[in-house]
Amino acid sequence: MTIGRFLKDYYLYMLIAAAIATVTGIFLSAFSLPPHAVLFVLMLFAVAFIFFFAREYIKRKRYYTALRDLFDKLDKKFLIAELMDAGDFAYSAIFYEILQRAGKSMNDEIAAYKLRSEDYAEFLEGWVHEIKTPIASARMTIENNRSPVTDRIDEDIMRIERYVQNVLFYARSSIVEKDYLIREVTLAQLVSKALKENSKLLIENKIEVRMEELDIAAFTDEKWMVFILGQIIANSVKYAQAGNAIVRFWGEDTPQGALLHIADNGIGIPPADLPRIFDKGFTGENGRKYAKSTGIGLYLCKKLCGKLGAHIYAKSEHGTEIVLTFPKTDMFFR
């Protein structure tokens, strides 16, 4: 609170105080009091008024400065209502009461929204489990009636399965903290499991896989990370160039962590799109031109990596390279 702001709020009271002092001086002079006595009384008035206004200014400045400093230090600004003091003057008490009521209203709204969000996530999980039954039935029918037509249907069923899996992991992405198990694994274990789960996709699209230097330890949740690798593999297949398509996996042991590189020799990513490929709903030039894209896959990868203490980024020179960085110890999760 500045002096100027304080004077602007209290100038009317100061004018009244000055008027009272003037009237008092005139009144005392009318009774033929000596000038030095009148001056003494006016000086007492001035000291009293100065003391009162100075005390009010210091009290308010101290309160508002402490409140602003507290607000600036908070990572979660909405907690200001829980941590602030009520103050010892009328305005601060009213201000405190309003913020307390506003904070309670916000917490009630958040709780209601969280409940709706959890209900929605539970519905999606239930839907995913229900839809798996007809998908499995369709796959069994295809297996028993192999033909060029059913093979094409099988490809569509495989895409449906991937989209359903995306829905499930998307629904669970907000509660990863409740459903993960961080343990030491090797990059080879993660890559091998991801390749096994996506083997049919790779074989049908004639993708050559190369693996090098993957015997490196990392700390992560295997289930969630295999899903992330599956999304990256699916993108490499989706944007592969016909003939001689290659996906390479190799590891790198650095002081910052264990690095996993996944590179393909596909069409690559336009430079203008590269900074935004992890944004939610962003499809970019390739998504519109070469394949139908939802813009959810890489967004999910980025979001889940953040929950798991990993880091993900992309490069594109000749094809696309995705780099994952894993913690080398479990200190991040303690």
pTM higher than 0.85: no
Q: In the predicted model, is pLDDT for residue 333 greater than 60? A: no
Q: In this predicted structure, what is the pLDDT of residue 33?
A: 74
Q: In this predicted structure, what is the pLDDT of residue 68?
A: 82
Q: In this predicted structure, what is the pLDDT of residue 179?
A: 63
Check which CATH number belongs to the domain holding 320 and give it.
3.30.565.10
Q: Does residue 179 lie in a domain region?
A: no
Number of structural domains in the chain: 3
* Domain encompassing residue 270: 184-333
Q: In this predicted structure, what is the pLDDT of residue 324?
A: 93
Q: In this predicted structure, what is the pLDDT of residue 303?
A: 87
Domain boundary among 73, 105, 137: 105
Provide the pLDDT confidence category of residue 46 given band limits of 50, 70 and 90: confident
Q: In the predicted model, is pLDDT for residue 158 greater than 90? A: no
Q: What is the pLDDT of residues 269-319, one digit of tens each?
A: 888 888 888 888 777 776 666 656 667 888 888 888 888 889 999 988 888
Q: Does residue 15 lie in a domain region?
A: yes
Q: In this predicted structure, what is the pLDDT of residue 263?
A: 92
Mean pLDDT of the chain: 82
Residues 200 and 324 occupy one common structural domain: yes
Q: What is the 3-state secondary structure (H, E, C) of the chain?
A: CCHHHHHHHHHHHHHHHHHHHHHHHHHHHHCCCCHHHHHHHHHHHHHHHHHHHHHHHHHHHHHHHHHHHHHHHCCCHHHHHHHCCCCCCHHHHHHHHHHHHHHHHHHHHHHHHHHHHHHHHHHHHHHHHHHHHHHHHHHHHHHHCCCHHHHHHHHHHHHHHHHHHHHHHHHHHHHHHHCCCCEEEEHHHHHHHHHHHCHHHHHHCCEEEEEECCCCEEEECHHHHHHHHHHHHHHHHHCCCCCCEEEEEEEEEECCEEEEEEEECCCCCCCCCHHHCCCCCCCHHHHHHCCCCCCCHHHHHHHHHHHCCCEEEEECCCCEEEEEEECCCCHHHC
Q: In the predicted model, is pLDDT for residue 262 greater than 90? A: yes
Provide the pLDDT confidence category of residue 191 given band limits of 50, 70 and 90: very high
Residues 197 and 325 occupy one common structural domain: yes
